[in-house]
Amino acid sequence: MHSCQEMRGLEFTNVWLALGLTVLAGLSTGIGGLFIFLFKKTNTKLLSVVLGFSAGIMIYISFVEMFSESKLLLVSNMGKLAGSWINIVSFFGGMLSIAIIDKLVPSYENPHESHKIEDLTNYCDIDVNAKLLRTGILTALVIGIHNLPEGMATFVTSIQQPSLGIPIALAIAIHNIPEGMAVAIPVYCATGSKKKALGLSFLSGLSEPVGAMIGYLILLPILNDIVFGILFAAIAGIMVFISLDELLPTAREYGEHHLSIYGLIFGMIVMALSLLLFITR
């Protein structure tokens, strides 16, 4: 990990890498929109495994790397008692912040409900174009608000430790694909326009680089070991909540229960091995 003095002299390459990863993760919502026009049927088993894989990456990084590193930073700078308390409060504070955002989303507009390509038939059979268009726009807005902290998480982690930022960006990109489908399906059925459906699905992911820019403009000038400790614990809490509340339930809805767990375990194994290889270099 970098010290506070090293952070003062961060090279622009680190910043651009962090911004680039955040943009790629955010724009993956457009991949979900693209899927509904390229494929006629959802491969539910594959999607279940992939979403479980994404959850495995997030959970492993959160507990093995970020939470423990947060505690080391906070304890070394604030003392054992105060540092340990701030570590725990920051972790659950991150969970609370993303839970509040989710709570503000009406259940019937929630983009984290499972969506399949086959839903095109069901949606398009309903002649309520105005309502469908409203659903698509609201879903895109909700995803945009929801993805802000994810963008900040990817950016901050990539700035401090690119070896963690890359797999986090990958995990978030995977979990954004069904969100893109949730936007594109009702918009396409309401307007009949593939361009509008794809455009709005891509647009909904732009809030992640916006979150990264907020992190760059507001957080970067004040970053030090204590701030990093707090942010790492909060990001760990956010990712654990996303995994348990969104990714795993959605993975089980798409496929068999065991498939999502197999994906989860495989994601943890891949993450553990990749970190081990990075350490031994």
**Dihedral sign computed on CA atoms, order 223, 224, 226, 229:** positive
Task: Let me know: does 263 contact 56? Beta carbons within 8 Å.
Answer: yes
Mean pLDDT over each residue of the chain, to the nearest integer: 77
Q: Which residue has the higher pLDDT, 183 or 258?
A: 258
pLDDT band, residue 209 (cuts 50/70/90): confident
Distance in angstroms (rounded) separating the CA atoms of residues 47 and 191: 27
pLDDT, one tens digit per residue, over 5-64 is 444 445 556 778 888 888 888 888 888 778 777 766 666 677 778 788 888 888 998 898
Task: Quick: pLDDT tens for 84-132.
Answer: 999 999 999 999 988 887 777 555 445 555 555 555 555 555 555 556 5
Residue recorded with tokens 């088993």: 45
Q: What is the pLDDT of residues 67-89, one digit of tens each?
A: 998 999 999 999 999 999 999 99
The CA distance from 21 to 16, in Å, is 8
Give the domain ranges of the chain.
17-280
